[in-house]
Amino acid sequence: METKQVMVKMILDRWNALTKNCDTILNAVTDEQLQKEIAPGKNRGIYLLGHLIAVHDDMLPLLSLGDKQYPDLYEPFLKSPDKSGAVVPSAKELRDIWSKQSEFLAQKFSSLQPDEWFEKHSSVSAEDFANEPHRNKLNILVTRTSHLSYHLGQLVLLK
């Protein structure tokens, strides 16, 4: 296996494991538990779930994999803080979206060849990428994997 293939596999394996861990936690908590704050004065579980969906949805155009599927989640879960009064989908709706999105992203990610992961992402210019080749698609997945891990640690606190 080539070095690029190994690197991509390691990162995709971590992404997939964390997504599965998140599924396990979401299946273990009730809708009522998702309404609870992670800690006093902090985000609720439902907000974190919507936030993760919105962040993952942003990856599609960033990785040149298509348009966002859930652009209506941008405002309430990325631009607005929790409990801002924004109308948000129900816990059941967000759980369903999470499942569909996870499957969709897995399909999209598996369709990319290792070399494609090392191409520039859509928010970096060709000139900047020439000077900073680490600003590639794989690096986006690395940062989003870390982000997922962070919020997964918070969701565990709901149990």
Which tokens go with 98?
């999470």
Residue 159 confidence (pLDDT) above 90: no
pLDDT digits (tens, 9 = 90+) for 48-71: 999 999 999 999 999 999 999 999
Among the CATH numbers 1.20.120.450, 3.40.50.10300, 3.40.190.10, 3.30.230.10, which is that of 3-158?
1.20.120.450
Return all residues near 27 (Cβ < 8 A) that are at least 6 apart: none
Q: Name the nearest CA neighbour of 153 among 38, 12, 15.
A: 38
Residue 125 confidence (pLDDT) above 90: yes
**Identity at 46, one-letter amino acid code:** I
Reported confidence tier of residue 1, pLDDT bands at 50, 70, 90: confident
Tokens 């991509």 -> residue: 8
Q: Name the nearest CA neighbour of 141 among 156, 128, 112, 129.
A: 112
Residue 121 confidence (pLDDT): 98
